[in-house]
């Protein structure tokens, strides 16, 4: 295994996210309570855990995607549209309602 190793520490409030990664290997992550000193103290153990994991599985198993939904069938009924005659009748009915209100 390559000796190249990357350690990333992200500090936020009273927690530290620590990640260890080597070329062609998935990262191994841990969250440590405390600040930078606590995170640095835990790095050697995390590196050892990562190297042990990489001996058996360098990368996590590939996920499988669910099949894409089938496209709608081309025989679906079209949505009916109003004809100009039905638009006129609707406008006349609305006008009649408006006149009766006044």
Mean per-residue pLDDT for 37-48? 95
Give the pair of three-digit tokens for residue 59.
Answer: 């990368």
Q: Is the model's pLDDT at 101 over the cut of 70? A: no
Which pTM does this prediction carry?
0.56
**CB neighbours of 25 closer than 8 A, spacing ≥ 6?**
50, 54, 58, 59
Mean per-residue pLDDT for 23-29? 91
Q: Is the model's pLDDT at 81 over the cut of 60? A: yes
SS (H, E, C) the chain: CCCCCEEEEEEECCEEEEEEECCCCCCEEEEEECCHHHHHHHHHHHHHHHHHHHHHCCCCCCCCCCCCCCCCCCCCCCCCCCCHHHHHHHHHHHHHHHHHHC
Nearest to 52 by CA among 61, 63, 44: 44
Q: What pLDDT, on a 0 to 100 scale, did the predictor assign at position 66?
A: 83
């Amino acid at each position: 295994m390559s000796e190249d190793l990357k350690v990333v520490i992200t500090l936020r409030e009273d927690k530290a996210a620590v990640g260890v990664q080597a070329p062609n290997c998935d990262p191994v992550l841990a969250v440590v309570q405390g600040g930078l000193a606590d995170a640095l103290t835990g790095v050697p153990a995390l590196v050892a855990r990562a190297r042990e994991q990489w001996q058996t599985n360098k990368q996590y198993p590939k996920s499988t995607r669910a099949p894409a939904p089938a496209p709608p069938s081309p025989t679906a009924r079209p949505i009916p549209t109003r004809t100009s005659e039905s638009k006129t009748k609707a406008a006349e009915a609305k006008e009649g309602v408006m006149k009766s209100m006044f």
